[in-house]
Structure 1
Amino acid sequence: MSAAPVPSGAAGRTSRIDSARLRQLGEAVLRTEAEAISALVARVDDSFVRACDYMLACEGRIVVLGMGKSGHIGSKIAATLASTGTPAFFVHPGEASHGDLGMITTKDVALILSNSGETPEMLTILPIIKRLGAPLICLGGNPLSTLARAADVFINVAVAKEACPLGLAPTASTTSALAMGDALAVALLESRGFTAEDFARSHPAGSLGRRLLLHVADIMHQGDDIPMVRRGTPLKDALVEMSRKGLGMSAVVDDAGHVLGIFTDGDLRRTLDRPIDIHTTPIETVMTAGCVTARSDMLAAAALHLMEDRKINGLLIVDEAQFLVGALNMHDMLRAGVV
């Protein structure tokens, strides 16, 4: 069987570079992009503050526009803004001139990304945005460009060079724009007093949302499902309760239902090492008094941290009067996706 033909042209050319050279190329790219981001620190100036002021005062949405690779970066910036408390969406400039400009209103703020500042698709829609009266913020690399001069605020994200050895592919310049977009989003997040729970409400799916939204009350066992025996109960009856409820533990309470202690699988192992009659020994003599408890309004993630910190697998849930209201164990955390 004859070998498949090798494609001609750049796509078909291959060259062998040794591993040391490959590492050098990778390191050079990262150094170039790191230097580009470091240079941005000095440009977090009055223009940056004015851009934040416009966006904080915005009564509509932040409309992000960008063409090509700037568009990909713009889409990500819009997503970051939206997920951190600043309503935003991305509009493709090419589609904007064919009807999507209707998405932009006078109450919005336009955030345009263009390294050259002369992107034709942007210049086509620029007069319309200006006539709307929507404030215009430009992230670009040329302060003398048409877009920079037309903008209400220009933030300079120029780079000394691209990381691409040909100096052509947008690499350091897109990284620079993305980093400045993140800086804007986080500054706005802090200014709005955006909290972890606010963030979770924008991310209800996946482990992040579960960790930030789920409370102990959402996953704990309640009512008849709580393993519980009263003071004076023989150890053998406490073991039956533990077995029936299947949490590997049982709360020990007084006649009013206040927690006195806990009896766990670990306590059982330690008890069986002693000469004890399980038929006559009252549970309070072998329980762990002063056990760790939690409140039902605690975040499940915080309860998990407490369990890990204290090296325990079960937790009793009490109210402010130490009345038993629930119980949970590590399996409940796993099922809820908190772990």
Structure 2
Amino acid sequence: MTLSDSLSATNALASARRTLSTEIAALESLSNRLDSTFHQAVKLVLACSGRVVVTGIGKSGHIGRKMAATLASTGSPAFFMHGVEAIHGDLGMLTPQDVVIAISYSGTAEELITVLSVCKRMGIPIIAITGNPQSELAGSAQVHLNVHVEQEACPLNLAPTASTTATMALGDALAVACLEARGFGAEDFARSHPGGALGRRLLTHVRDIMRHGQALPIVQGTTPIPEALEEMSRKGMGMTIVVNNKEEPIGIFTDGDLRRLISKVGDIRHLSVSDGMSLGPRSVSADALAVEAASIMESNKLSQVVVVNKQGKLIGALHMHDLMAAKVI
């Protein structure tokens, strides 16, 4: 077979499907094999008053880094400790309050066996993840989670593929089970991801980005339209809010209202804002999430909303551009 034949679309797709089928079969076998030991692992993580320390070397180390990151971002404080670095000083990071998750598919990694001997002397609970229940690593742990696979996706049955997929999935299962047990919600997740899009969506409130004070365009219903236009131009929101003498918003006068009024009347210089304003402006609370305000604006095809307090008094306004600038949308 030539190189071009081996790279044909048919062969490439067939290879991909064999790989995925092998890994799917490994995951299904793992799912069917889960038993009370998984529950014991969850209880150890939940009872941990220190940190969950994940350790491994080689491909297991790469999986361990991801596992620790997933645990940490879902409410179980965790970090990764490389097995080799551990026996050259990083064991000093461990405390008796920690839980250690040691990953080695063979269960024979000498570095991890050394790490676990130290953990046992310190009284640190150990969760071992291996593909060999008879291994020394499995026997050293309080809880052993078996990720054995019948076949790697690698046609040589050498490169860790299905086994690493199974291990990663098991780490996800452990993190999610702990997340659910803790009642860890979207806002908790956002607090650990404040720099990301989810953090902005779940931590940004209307009060954080609304315009207020002197930045608000405000007029009375009796204000002549030319004066209202000056207020709109100064404040740059494409509208002005119309309030009564109780500081309650009773209407809104927008660029669109202006165009419609000119089309209907012609000369508008003698008119007041009340002659062309839209009544009952849509409002939101300052305590609402900015993403909720965005949803209201998008569903009602609005460019602006007013912000009111519990008494219905005007305290701010929000423009679609404010949401975009805050990267909420």
TM range, smaller chain:
over 0.9
- CA 1:36–1:271 in structure 2 vs 1: closer, same or farther (change >3 Å)? farther
1:125 Cα deviation from its structure 2 partner: 2.1
Alignment of 1:34 onto 2:24: yes
In the alignment, does 2:192 pair up with 1:202? yes
Q: Which residue of 1 aligns with 2:178?
A: 188
After TM superposition, the structure 1 = structure 2 runs for residues 59-70 of structure 1, keeping only pairs within 5 Å, are 59-70=49-60
Q: Deviations over 1:128-171 (max 9, x none)?
A: 11111111111221122111122111112222211111111111
Q: Distance in 2 between matches of 1:30 and 1:238?
A: 65
For the Cα contact (< 8 Å) 1:220–1:332, is it kept in 2? yes
- The more displaced of 127-136 and 260-269 is 260-269
Measured against aligned partners, the alpha-carbon deviations of 1:96-133 in whole angstroms (never above 9, x if no partner) come to 11111111111100011111111121122221111111
In structure 2, the partner of 1:132 is 122
Relative to the length of structure 2, the TM-score reads 0.94
Contact 1:141/1:156 (CA < 8 Å) preserved in 2? yes
The verdict on how the C-alpha distance between 1:265 and 1:38 changes in structure 2, with shifts beyond 3 A counting, is farther
Match of 1:271 among 248, 261, 277: 261
TM-score by length of structure 1 reads 0.92
Q: What per-residue deviation string (whole Å, max 9, x for no partner) do you get for residues 41-82 of structure 1?
A: 224431111111111111100000011001001001101111
Q: Verify the 8 A CA contact 2:55 2:102 in the aligned structure 1.
A: yes
Question: Contact conserved, 2:261 with 2:268, CA < 8 A, in 1?
Answer: no
Paired with 2:260 and 2:292, the residues of 1 have a C-alpha distance of 29
Partner residue in 2 for 1:151: 141
1:73 aligns with 2:52: no
- How far 1:206 sits from its partner (Å)? 3.2
SS in 2 for 1:163: coil
Whole-angstrom CA distance in 2 between matches of 1:268 and 1:29: 63
Q: What letter corresponds to residue 134 of structure 1 in structure 2?
A: I
What does residue range 232-243 of structure 1 map to in structure 2 within 5 Å?
A: 232-243=222-233
Match of 1:327 among 297, 303, 317: 317
Look up the match of 1:282. 272
Q: Residue in 2 aligned with 1:8?
A: none
The residue aligned with 1:9 is none
Distance 2:159 2:316 in 1: 59
Q: Number of residue pairs matched? A: 326
Do 2:201 and 2:291's aligned partners in 1 also have CA atoms closer than 8 Å?
Answer: yes
Q: CA RMSD in A?
A: 1.6
Question: 1:267 deviation in Å?
Answer: 2.1
Name the residue aligned to 1:15.
Answer: 3
The residue aligned with 1:120 is: 110
Report deviation, 1:277.
4.1
Question: 2-side partners of 1:198 and 1:281: how far apart?
Answer: 53
Greater shift in the superposed pair: 117-126 or 310-319: 117-126
Cα deviation for residue 205 of structure 1 reads 1.5
User: Quick one: structure 1 residues 317 and 98, their matched pair in 2 at CA, closer, same or farther if it must change by over 3 Å?
Assistant: same
Identical-residue share of aligned pairs (%):
51
Structure 1 residue 100 corresponds to structure 2 residue 69 = no
Distance 1:147 1:105 in 2: 20
* Unmatched tracts of structure 2, length 5 or more: none
Cα distance, 1:291–1:128 mapped onto 2, change above 3 Å: same
- Amino acid paired to 2:76: T
Runs of at least 5 residues in structure 1 that lack an aligned partner in the other structure: 1-13
The answer to whether structure 1 residue 301 and structure 2 residue 285 are counterparts is no
Which is worse superposed, 42-51 or 244-253? Answer: 42-51
2:208 maps to what in 1? 218
